Amino acid sequence: MSTFETLTRNNSSQRGKTWFITGTSSGFGFLLAKYLISLGANVVATARRADVLEELEASAPAQVQRLALDVTKPAQIDAAVKDALARWGKIDVLVNNAGYGLTAAFEEAHEDEYRPMFETNVFGLIQMTQALLPHFRERRTGNILFLSSIGGLVGLPGWAFYNSTKFAIEGLGEALGAELEPLGIDVTIVEPGPFRTEFLGTSGKKSQKTIADYEQTAGKTRAYMEAQNGKQAGDPQKAVEAMVAAVSAPKSPRHLVLGALAYNRFQQKLTSFQDEMSQWKEVTFGADFPGVESANPYK
């Protein structure tokens, strides 16, 4: 048995648990829902159009509740949470999966292109999580997954606005995890690399404006999207199995990097970051008042 198979062996523990998933119409959200159904879990499957989830619900009507949910609309969030709790009585896991990307050089993107992405990727995630936190706190148990990206750990040309939404999720997840840990609630930030979902296809958007000076940076990213869609190294089925393994573990990880490319790219950043910190250490320490040691309030 491989190490991966060993780690996912406990996934059967999700039988009877209820998962609330945003963005279930395709990609990780859809595959996660299908996998959970096979494990015997209940799934609250949500999408902006509930009709696209008819087939999923029909495949296991006793386990699936499909709901219309646009995470940028607070009233729909509240209604979906109310309906889900009315049917199942409890939610064990929230998966903040809804989101999309925008490829553009920083100067190329217009507010009408990047602001809606922030509304979905960041503010929608915040409102969705806040809507379920009272339920998790009352039960003193639960898991919350934030679908971030390697783009939340490493910034690259052409992804400035997408990177900033995912970097925001990293900070939110780390802070929220620290706040909820004493209450018995786990937060896991998932950071996939390139996987064969629709991220580079229908889920990826490009700015209308292009500037020739950025062809060697953002332009290469656009070319990458066109050339690599469907050729990514990551297996999305294994990714969703890994997510369930993180929830099923005795102690869920705060971060779950998925895929060799993501792992290696982040390792390179860590090494470069450490080198830069060492080179500038004297300047860093010199910024303090002499002889004064700052207290850490969180020890």
Determine the Cα–Cα distance for residues 121 and 217; give it in Å rounded to an integer: 24
**Cα 297 from chain centre:** 29
Examine the residue annotation and report whether 100 is marked as an active-site residue of this protein.
no
> Whose CA is closest to 232, among 209, 270, 263, 259?
259
Task: Name the active-site residue from 114, 162, 214, 298.
Answer: 162
Q: What is the DSSP string of 7-39?
A: HTGGGGGGTT-EEEESS-SSHHHHHHHHHHHHH
Structure tokens at 1: 């048995």
Q: Cβ of 34: how many Cβ atoms within 10 Å?
A: 18
Structure tokens at 237: 């089925």
> Whose CA is closest to 257, among 114, 153, 143?
153
- The 10 Å CB-count burial string (b at 16+, else e) for 70-93 is bbbbeebbeebbeebbeebeebbb
Enzyme catalytic residues: 162
